[in-house]
Structure 1
């Protein structure tokens, strides 16, 4: 009845792209034992059940990557369980009562494959490999859609002593798997520092994903990071993987972690301390196989003293701290950065542009309260203002080129009548660069609600493509 001997004697090579957690649910004890042994021989972690009641217990304890489900169980109909189960993971149906109608109905209800007993070893190996590979590729595809960033935007540029020291420290902490906290003012490139830590680690060939703690409201942040189950929110009918799941084996950047609410701080602390978390609306623990890097422009120690940030989370995050220097402290890097930003511009008729010596000197005399982000915006605008000229001159830089002050004054200097949006963008950048201001303070200063502030920040970030 079962081609068990042939299955058991198969070569012990992984069936799929990497070892997986597989649940075998079949009341045929002989077949169940052989399938379990064969999958373990291939390097997978396997749990077996002979009844649906046992399978439910296993599913509550750990979420599998694949389920092999008998069509007819003593206490359940496999077809009836398929729609819900297939929302959790891929399902392959096993049956000794195969008909075309059964196969069509199983696929319609969510099965990824349909195998008949006695199980053919070659067909079995192919089905396992195909199901696991397809699931992993789907996960990677969804992740890459989120990432969608060019390699040029992920370059940490600078030859100054400050940047040389930063790069040395990145190379020290990169190979370790410890949590890293990146500090620095708004616009200095904290995301690039975090990406460099990822690239210097053994996780470099795995995903690097970012979640912005400042622009997402609490419920959305939790869903984005941890994922959610079907029914977790009104109108939500499908399960959604969070960034921790989709970045498995890689690195998750928690950008502007100082903006998290106390409730979210507690949930994040649990993940950092235990390596376990739950999706929103879920009851089972999942294992977090990611490295966390956090960043902030806020003074977390002061926030702890004020009671706005958990002390235990603060100490958990500050095991290793990196500080991205402000642009005013590495003036010698300005020519390199300016040329880099200019080289990314595309001009008509394949023309090239260059800065005059006076323009570079003007850039190096600026205070740059908005740091690298502000420099990039000035360079891109100067490239447009220079028109057909192959040389960018001080006159193309606008009034900012004369700003030698080291103070962070709220000065609105334009070489043209500015629009309301332009004034808002400049003022918002200045407020975000102030370490002493919380998102609530900024909203009050602007005279808007926090929700509208989040919208302004999101709109601003969507217009910027890399430096954070």
Structure 2
């Protein structure tokens, strides 16, 4: 089936050749757009994604040589093949020096054209994989799942079991427990690890923008849509798409997402072309998606599609034995990144960290360590460096009525933190250990505006 990743632009002023070559390439599985001159070709490349352009040289108006020069100037990574009936060895050498990937003489043998085009796409794919691997090497070791508690060993065991399958995974847990790291670990241990890992925060975008972000849009599909936009599903082709805070998507987006999971295809916003994708979907939420009273409601059929495998990441207060390892790792990282001499934490300070309830979980712990490292003196962090942590917070859960709902507790906690921060939402989000966009969404949800 033709896909966006095998899209080709064919440029030739002879209609018979365009018709013939287009038919040949379509049979070989390519998505082909054909134009008759260089001006139209340049405009097409500016508006759409074409991994490869196949062009004639002698054409009315802009010649193939001019087209190639302009393409190399505007799109240095653009793949180009030349087919001509008027070429010479010297000209072919000049074209190859300009970055042309291949050079064929007319009349072009159909099998030869397909063979060379397949080879070019394979070469480009290898180059993309090498780039992705270099990026992975750059980021290696910066972030990983840390924990030696039985609870985290269970999480990691489940990650290993599901990684090399294509099953959809729903990662649940409170804000800040490390759900994104779990998703990243699944991708890195899977057979898709050479493909992209694309992340989307569903709570950070309103419905209209989220739909465009996920599925892309055609030119003119909405105000200011001056060119085609490729969505995250297409960008994640052959890899993994991670949808964070999946519980915040609207009913309309839920319907489109359900269709992609069922049929593995979709249309861009404002488009009619059906696009097939090969994507593994991992999603995460800190909400109860099965709550019948939640707003917006979450489709039950979509929930079961997403929740083929559930990985629940426990909150930090339920695995305090992991706190020393996490704290020591964060001290080293913060000292390195902030150019500080801090090296260790005193036993008394570590016990204070262990006794604190960490409502913002690992993210709050990391933020607390970073703050202490930046403001601390010397090479050791002591209890005074964590004076900003309220030691009585650990006793608060027992004060909550037994029949109080989780939503009510969360709402009251947000109100208290906002009051402590004098209404400053950025500071409140940091205190809570959540993204600012997540806090804004909760404020709207609990009508705290």
Q: TM-score range by the shorter chain?
A: 0.7 to 0.9
Partners of 2:118 and 2:448 in 1: how far apart?
A: 57
**Contact 1:367–1:406 (CA<8 Å) still a contact in 2?**
no
Given candidates 354, 365, 384, the residue that maps to 1:364 is 354
Give 5+ residue unaligned stretches, structure 1.
1-18, 37-45, 50-61, 72-76, 449-468
Q: Measured at CA, do residues 351 and 129 of structure 1 come closer, stay the same or move farther in structure 2, by a change above 3 Å?
A: farther
Structure 2: state its 5+ residue gaps: 72-77, 93-100, 105-112, 398-408
CA contact (8 A) 1:399 1:413 kept: no
Shift of 1:133: 7.3
Q: Provide closer, same or farther for how the CA distance between residues 135 and 237 of structure 1 changes in structure 2, counting only shifts above 3 A.
A: farther
Q: Work out whether 1:442 is the aligned partner of 2:431.
A: no
2: CA distance, partners of 1:438 / 1:311: 26
Number of equivalences: 394
**Does 1:397 find its partner at 2:386?**
yes
Cα offset, 1:335, TM superposition: 0.4
Give the corresponding residue for 1:377.
367
Distance 1:411 1:29 in 2: 67
Q: In structure 2, the residue corresponding to 1:379 is in which secondary structure?
A: helix
Partner residue of 1:56? none
Partner residue, 1:103? 64
Cα distance in 1 for partners of 2:442, 2:294 equals 18
Matched, 1:208 2:197: yes
> Aligned partners of 1:447 and 1:329: how far apart in 2?
30
Distance 1:216 1:63 in 2: 34
Compare relative contact order (CA 8 Å, sep 6+) and give the higher one, 1 or 2.
1
> With structure 1 as the length reference, what TM-score do the two structures score?
0.71
Counterpart in the other structure of 1:453: none
User: For 1:292, what is the secondary structure of its paired residue?
Assistant: strand
Question: Structure 1 residue 148: deviation in Å?
Answer: 12
Mapped to 1, the partners of 2:421 and 2:214 lie a distance apart of: 37
Question: Within the alignment, does 1:115 sit opposite 2:88 as a pair?
Answer: no
| In 1: Cα distance, 2:423 partner to 2:10 partner | 59
Partner of 1:82: 41
Tell me the distance in 2 between the aligned counterparts of 1:421 and 1:137. 51
The alignment's TM-score, normalised by the length of structure 2, stands at 0.74
Kept after mapping to 2: 8 A contact 1:106/1:114: no
Residues 350, 299 of structure 1: CA spacing in aligned structure 2 closer, same or farther, 3 A cutoff? closer
Q: Which residue of 38, 44, 47 maps to 2:26?
A: 47
- The Cα offsets for residues 48-82 of structure 1, whole Å up to 9 and x where unpaired, read as 69xxxxxxxxxxxx982x65x5x7xxxxx344642
Cα separation, partners in 2 of 1:32 and 1:445, compared to 1, 3 Å: closer
Matched, 1:180 2:144: no
Aligned with 1:156 (options 106, 122, 145)? 145
Judge conservation of contact 1:190–1:324 (CA < 8 Å) in 2.
yes
CA distance in 2, matches of 1:146, 1:243: 19
